[in-house]
Amino acid sequence: MALITSKEMFQKALKSDYAVGAFNVNNMEIIQGIVDAAKEENAPLILQVSAGARKYAKPAYLVKLVEAAMIDTGLDICLHLDHGEDFEICKKCVDDGFTSVMIDGSKYPFKENVALTKQVVEYAHAKGVVVEAELGRLSGIEDNINVDERQATFTDPEEAAEFVERTGVDSLAIAIGTSHGAYKFKGDPYLDFERLKKIHELIPDTPLVLHGASTVLPEFVDLCNKYGGKIPGAKGVPEDMIREAAKYGICKVNIDTDLRLAMTAEIRRYLAEHPEDFDPRKYLGPARNAIKAMVQHKIRNVLGSSNKR
Ligand code: G3H
Ligand code: 13P
Ligand code: ZN
């Protein structure tokens, strides 16, 4: 077993209607829950680390924990930097042994995004590491903009084709209506599938990435709220929309919020029902099981990546 790039997993996913799950990791229990699920489902796996995760857990711990997960399960795993904001963090992660990095230049004008992405691609490719970039901006309802303004931030298909051509990037994150966090839509959920189809048509060989793809399952929001949480009106991307997206080039689906909700719901429930307990293992153990069950559900029922290893 080894840390591997996402190249082969994406090539397989591109030819089929399933997507690979990319799950955010921040500590040992989250990593263990995810890898145990992927092992049982025999699914390809990307573990991703954000700048916030590196700050929280310290970079060396996360890399070593992922290596430990690989040794324990015997799985090949792709270790990915999520939302690298500049060349330096991407370089650091390449040097630390990551097999994939994201350079997120989506906040810059097209030309600057191209230049920054190219710089990362050059460095990473020379070391056998693959690169994901982002074009278009993910804006949630919290950004307080109307529908037209929101659409204007979506990825332009022609620009996407030009961007891939000019940067040589391995995969591209696109904006079609998803957003990060637990508040993705005010009214009915809407994704711009026509735009996705157009992008896929123009760059059929480029694996596309869907960020902000959590579903925010009501039962977990309700559990959190039942046991003292305050997450009113949370809404995510319906599961059938994720399945649909996987048919049009979406090869990587990013999930963090659903893991956070599952873990928090379980910890809240456990502590409320066992006020006498104060051993962290007592509530972190069930929380780890909740992560595992959530990831297994995603792989089996939403992403369709069971037995695609
Ligand atoms: O894209 C954002 C991911 O959910 C990571 O979140 O920056 O709070 O670690 P974070
Ligand atoms: P969610 O907040 O929908 O889980 O998205 C996570 C993500 O896109 C990480 O990059
Ligand atoms: Zn993201």
DSSP string covering 82-136: EEE-SHHHHHHHHHHT-SEEEE--TTS-HHHHHHHHHHHHHHHHHTT-EEEEEES
- At 204-263, the pLDDT tens digits run 999 999 999 999 999 999 999 999 999 999 999 999 999 999 999 999 999 999 999 999
Residues lining ligand 2, judged by CB closer than 6 Å?
24, 82-83, 180-181, 211-214, 254-258
Round to whole Å and give the CA distance between 74 and 32.
Answer: 13
Q: What is the pLDDT of residues 131-160, one digit of tens each?
A: 999 999 998 776 667 777 778 899 999 999
How many residues appear in the chain?
309
Q: Which helix (H) or strand (E) holds 251?
A: strand 250-255
Q: How far does the chain reach from its first CA to its final CA, in angstroms? A: 13
| Residue showing tokens 């037995």 | 307
pTM: 0.97
The CA 50 to ligand 1 mean position distance, Å, reads: 6
* 124 contacts: CB under 8 Å, gap ≥ 6: 90, 94, 101, 130, 131
Active-site residue identified among 17, 36, 76, 82 = 82
Question: Both tokens of residue 285?
Answer: 């153990």
52 within ligand 1 shell (Cβ under 6 A): yes
Substitution candidate for ligand 2 out of 180, 239, 258, 295 with most atoms within 8 A of CB: 180
Ligand 3 center from residue 213 Cα (angstroms): 8
Per-residue pLDDT of the chain (309 residues; tens, 9 = 90+): 899 999 999 999 999 999 999 999 999 999 999 999 999 999 999 999 999 999 999 999 999 999 999 999 999 999 999 999 999 999 999 999 999 999 999 999 999 999 999 999 999 999 999 999 999 999 877 666 777 777 889 999 999 999 999 999 999 999 999 999 999 998 899 999 999 999 999 999 999 999 999 999 999 999 999 999 999 999 999 999 999 999 999 999 999 999 999 999 999 999 999 999 999 999 999 999 999 999 999 999 999 999 999
Instruction: Please work out whether the CB of residue 83 comes within 6 Å of at least one atom of ligand 1.
Output: yes
Domains of the chain: 7-216+236-256+295-303 (3.20.20.70)
The residue among 204, 214, 209 whose CA lies nearest residue 182 is 214
Counting from 1 in the atom list of ligand 2, the atom nearest the Cα of 237 is 3
Q: Is the CB of 210 under 6 A from ligand 1?
A: no
How far apart CA 241 and CA 159 sit, in angstroms, is: 24
Judge contact between 196 and 174, C-beta under 8 A: yes
Residue nearest to atom 1 of ligand 2 (CA): 212
Tokens coding 248: 């049009």
Cα–chain center distance at 111: 26
Q: What percent of the chain has pLDDT over 90?
A: 94
**184 Cβ below 6 A of ligand 1:** no
Please check whether residue 218 is in contact with residue 189, taking contact to mean a CB–CB distance below 8 angstroms: no
Do 100 and 47 touch, CB atoms closer than 8 A?
A: no
Tell me if 53 CB under 6 Å of ligand 1: yes
Active site residue 82: yes
> For atom 2 of ligand 1, which residue has the closest CA?
180
Distance 48 CA to ligand 1 centre (A): 10
Nearest C-alpha neighbor of 138 from the set 87, 114, 188, 104: 104
